[in-house]
Structure 1
Amino acid sequence: MYQRQYSTKIPDHAPEKGESFDQIFEDFKEIILPGMTHWQHPAFFGYFPANNSEPSILAEMLMSTLGAQCMSWLTSPAATELEERVCDWLRDAKGIDKSWKGVIQDTASTATLSAIITAREKATQYQINEKGFTGKEKFRVYSSAHVHSSIDKALKIAGIGAQNLVRIPVDENFAMIPDALEKAILNDQKAGFYPLCVVSALGTTSSTAVDPIGQITQITKKYGLWHHIDAAFAGTAMLLPEFQHLLSGHQDADSYVFNPHKWMFTNFDCSVLFLREPQFLINTFSLTPEYLKTQLDDSVNNYRDWGIQLGRRFRALKLWFVIRSYGLEGIREKLRNHLQLAQLAKSWIEKEKNLEILAPVNFNTICFRHGDTSISLEKQNQFNEAWMARVNATGKAFFTHTKLDGKFVIRWVIGQTDVEEKHIRNALSLLLEERKKLLEPIN
């Protein structure tokens, strides 16, 4: 269905002479825009949103205009101090323990990798950083079977190995089972492995399942493991007091990441990593050659030491503009509207014959499919895949999928900044219309 066609409209060789901006912009409109997946359209219901908003776009433009390199306090004092302050604002608004500190990263993938490397270095007293692996390390990292693929990638990059990711069984709601986690840790200890870290999910990518954070924290504290909480998408919901109970017991965890660039109207990229004891992170990544030393290093935060990258963008400006423009009340109002729309769409799906929802709608993601027990699971999966493809091919809406218990399900994520009830009504009508067409040959 999808074919490459846009590269043929772009010359094979770069122009030797400069071209007018009018021509460049005309080609942008004629060649680039038709070939884009428009994430900011209210009928974009796929993946998780990568939202923006007017204040965030303006801040991004100003960031580019300043062209600042925000690696150290001295290189951009206001950027460093603003980053510290907005991270504190978000920490307090989300109900995270006040002793924790935050730092802005590019994506949750980078933040999670940083957390796992920090766990590795804390466990080895920074010896792998200094001397490398001895070959005797047998680390284990634990997560549910529905953890994001960035965890697998982090283990590869950190030298732990993807095969040392132990996937813990989940319950009927696709949340990690604590007893199974503890059993896996004990079994690994007996087998000579070193249990290093647990990555729990506060909103899995497939279905937004929520792992029991407090119970997992008790286990990691009992056995001395690092506990990293991945709340990349759903973490924004913690701005709502009615959801903050999901963080209960996090105080003794070690790190927590969420992406304002997903559901908090802050354009990509902007991810916030919070840590209970940031000194472990700093000790892992700090490296200060002579040419980066300043007289203020002992009294300020140099955020280049809080992660992988040396060079850093002024991402805090986007958060500052968004939080001040909407206020926490305005952000919460939008979030609650999205949540209400999701419940409305859920109620519509439940009323339709042969449509079924396969996971709890914890936030604003609905996992549904056309179910027909008269045919095999394979044929059911083929039907639902074809159904989603037909809907997407209309260009009127965009959905993506996952598999739950081997079943192909369509994910309906209602979180675009300005989505309204009319957009989800139109989307349901489109879904039912295309399903009817697909069923006609069968009937």
Structure 2
Amino acid sequence: MKDIEILSGAFEKIRAYIQENQNDSQPVVKFKSPEELKEVFDFKVGENGVSENEFLELLDKYLEYSVRTGNKQFLNQLYSGFNFPAFIGEVFSVLANTSMYTYEVAPVATVIETEMISLMNSYAGYSDGDGIFVSGGSNANLIAMFSARNRIFPDSRFEGYDRNNKLVAFVNEQAHYSFETAANILGIGAKNVIKVKADKNGKLISSELEKEIAKAISRGEKPFFAVATCATTLLGAYDPIEEMAEICKKHNIWLHADGSFGGSLILSDKNRYLMKGIEQTDSFAWNPHKLMNIPLICSALLVKKRGTLQHNITDINTDYIFHDIDAIEDLGKKSIQCGRKVDAVKLWFAWKYFGLEGYQKRIDNLIDMAVYAENIVNENPQLELLSERNSFAVCFRYIPKNESDLNKFNLELRESLRKSGKSIVNYGYIGKTLAIRLITANGELQKSDIDLFFANLLFEVEKLENAIFNA
């Protein structure tokens, strides 16, 4: 009875929280320092449990002081927004509490994941493709590199990697750090991930890739893996897949598309030209928890050739778990995880709810909102666009009237805005220039939300400039 009463109270808090996210006046975060949080919460676990009321109070406090990533002023990360059908899917999959290794324990979820992988492969143009849901884009990138190593040196699955083979990989100089981590884990070594020069907008230069491959071969190294980034973390740039595919084919190099950030653009008929040639890649990392607004984590690795993933696994003769008695593939046979969370189900619920056309409109809207934000920056003489907008990221800075250190001012501006709780955006460096980075990742964004962000930003500007003037 106690659990049912707590559940009733918890769902009332969820309902209120969802409603509050639609309210522009709600702060994105009630910022407190770590020490201040320790004054609000008793984080230590005691000998005895807490009462029903104390438990519900803890739920209140957790939500009150967490960042509201569903708030439309959360423009900080590569993910944002609240997706109701996906949230319900998450709740029900946790309620069922199963694991994805066999059909026996996850019958409905296994069929759903198989269907989702098939649908995602159809967008990628992998007619005989395969795939698996994984624990994030970094994990997808690791398995892609793992698969490439096993293709070029099949015996490495059993014998290990021979360093005398001198494998080298190639990525955009602005690619995600996970590729260096993957090379470290696989024993290839992070220094053997060669960073290829990008143009001023962050897009890998194909001729530079060709040069780096030639240099590696001349050093006696073995090129085996290259990455086309589909939306870089800071600038949202898309690498030239078609040009890279031609080069990789010539040198028998596995080409992986890292769409961890921008892979969902593939859903858009109007904008998917940025991923032209995706069907020529060997693998594709796609994170629906980014631009499709599925609750974290929801990531998939797609591979062009069926059987690739199962080939990675050295021993699946485990008759205590895999019985081969049902007329469907046990997904655990192609996963490096045994216990694996049910992540495809929440994506399925959301896709069923919005439909193929509905999701296409949501992705197109994200580009439209980025274009709108870019236009606001260009029309304000005090705002400077620091890089041509590629996709969902708008990088800019404010030019103050009486301040020579622009990096210092813009960092203070970003921090002042973040701690105000009104809006949150991130920042990064383009060369030595600090850029405020606005990301349009929430599928429900409207022009009024972008207007409100810039109004909040300029309000903080006025406060800072007045403080400087009066100092």
Normalising to structure 2: TM-score of the pair? 0.87
SS at match of 2:203: coil
The alpha-carbon distance between structure 1 residues 13 and 352, as it changes in their structure 2 partners (threshold 3 A), is closer
The alpha-carbon distance between structure 1 residues 270 and 170, as it changes in their structure 2 partners (threshold 3 A), is same
The alpha-carbon distance between structure 1 residues 211 and 374, as it changes in their structure 2 partners (threshold 3 A), is farther
Corresponding residue for residue 149 of structure 2: 120
SS at match of 2:70: coil
Cα distance in 1 for residues equivalent to 2:222 and 2:399: 44
Corresponding letter in the other structure for 2:278:
H
- Cα deviation 1:157-180 (Å, max 9, x = unaligned): 111111111110011221001111
Corresponding residue for residue 66 of structure 2: 36
Cα distance in 1 for residues equivalent to 2:162 and 2:266: 41
Corresponding residue for residue 103 of structure 2: 73
Corresponding letter in the other structure for 1:152:
E
1:63 correspondence with 2:93: yes
Preserved CA contact (<8 Å) 2:81 2:444? no
Corresponding residue for residue 20 of structure 1: 51
Question: What number of residue pairs does the alignment pair up?
Answer: 437
Preserved CA contact (<8 Å) 1:42 1:417? no
Q: Which residue, 231, 243, 263 being the options, matches 1:203?
A: 231
Cα distance in 1 for residues equivalent to 2:98 and 2:148: 31
Q: Which residue, 151, 155, 165 being the options, matches 2:183?
A: 155
1:3 correspondence with 2:40: no
Q: Which residue, 426, 431, 436 being the options, matches 1:400?
A: 426
Segment of structure 1 superposing worse, 314-323 or 330-339:
330-339
Preserved CA contact (<8 Å) 1:43 1:419? no
Corresponding residue for residue 189 of structure 1: 217
SS at match of 1:347: helix
Give the 5 Å matches for 1:82-121.
82-92=112-122, 94-121=123-150
Segment of structure 1 superposing worse, 342-351 or 411-420:
411-420
The alpha-carbon distance between structure 1 residues 133 and 245, as it changes in their structure 2 partners (threshold 3 A), is same
- Cα deviation 1:51-71 (Å, max 9, x = unaligned): 441111111111011111221
The alpha-carbon distance between structure 1 residues 375 and 167, as it changes in their structure 2 partners (threshold 3 A), is farther
Segment of structure 1 superposing worse, 279-288 or 319-328:
279-288
Cα distance in 1 for residues equivalent to 2:52 and 2:258: 43
Corresponding letter in the other structure for 1:400:
N
Cα distance in 2 for residues equivalent to 1:314 and 1:277: 24
The alpha-carbon distance between structure 1 residues 13 and 131, as it changes in their structure 2 partners (threshold 3 A), is same
Preserved CA contact (<8 Å) 2:69 2:82? no
The alpha-carbon distance between structure 1 residues 337 and 244, as it changes in their structure 2 partners (threshold 3 A), is closer
Preserved CA contact (<8 Å) 2:322 2:330? no
Aligned-residue Cα RMSD (Å) equals 2.1
Cα distance in 1 for residues equivalent to 2:49 and 2:182: 42
The alpha-carbon distance between structure 1 residues 411 and 13, as it changes in their structure 2 partners (threshold 3 A), is closer
What is the Cα deviation at residue 13 of structure 1?
Answer: 4.5
Corresponding letter in the other structure for 1:180:
E
Cα distance in 2 for residues equivalent to 1:332 and 1:280: 30
The alpha-carbon distance between structure 1 residues 382 and 13, as it changes in their structure 2 partners (threshold 3 A), is closer
Corresponding letter in the other structure for 1:7:
K
Cα distance in 2 for residues equivalent to 1:115 and 1:263: 21
1:282 correspondence with 2:313: no
Corresponding residue for residue 291 of structure 1: 320
Preserved CA contact (<8 Å) 1:176 1:212? yes
SS at match of 2:169: strand
Preserved CA contact (<8 Å) 1:202 1:210? yes
1:360 correspondence with 2:391: no
Preserved CA contact (<8 Å) 2:171 2:193? yes
The alpha-carbon distance between structure 1 residues 77 and 102, as it changes in their structure 2 partners (threshold 3 A), is same
Preserved CA contact (<8 Å) 1:51 1:261? no
What is the Cα deviation at residue 121 of structure 1?
Answer: 1.6
Corresponding residue for residue 383 of structure 1: 409
Cα distance in 1 for residues equivalent to 2:184 and 2:158: 19
Cα distance in 1 for residues equivalent to 2:140 and 2:401: 43
Corresponding residue for residue 459 of structure 2: 433
SS at match of 1:274: strand
1:229 correspondence with 2:260: no
1:247 correspondence with 2:278: no
Preserved CA contact (<8 Å) 2:403 2:409? no
SS at match of 2:271: helix
Normalising to structure 1: TM-score of the pair? 0.93
Corresponding letter in the other structure for 2:163:
G
Corresponding residue for residue 9 of structure 2: none
The percentage of counterpart residues that share the same residue type is 25
The alpha-carbon distance between structure 1 residues 50 and 441, as it changes in their structure 2 partners (threshold 3 A), is closer
Preserved CA contact (<8 Å) 1:139 1:194? yes
SS at match of 1:291: coil
Structure 1 gaps, min length 5: none
Corresponding residue for residue 46 of structure 1: 76
Corresponding residue for residue 23 of structure 2: none
Preserved CA contact (<8 Å) 1:209 1:360? no
The alpha-carbon distance between structure 1 residues 17 and 82, as it changes in their structure 2 partners (threshold 3 A), is same
- Cα deviation 1:251-289 (Å, max 9, x = unaligned): 332100111111113111111211111422211125322
Preserved CA contact (<8 Å) 1:189 1:195? yes
- Cα deviation 1:170-208 (Å, max 9, x = unaligned): 112210011110111111111011112001101111111
Cα distance in 2 for residues equivalent to 1:319 and 1:13: 35
What is the Cα deviation at residue 375 of structure 1?
Answer: 7.3
Structure 2 gaps, min length 5: 1-30
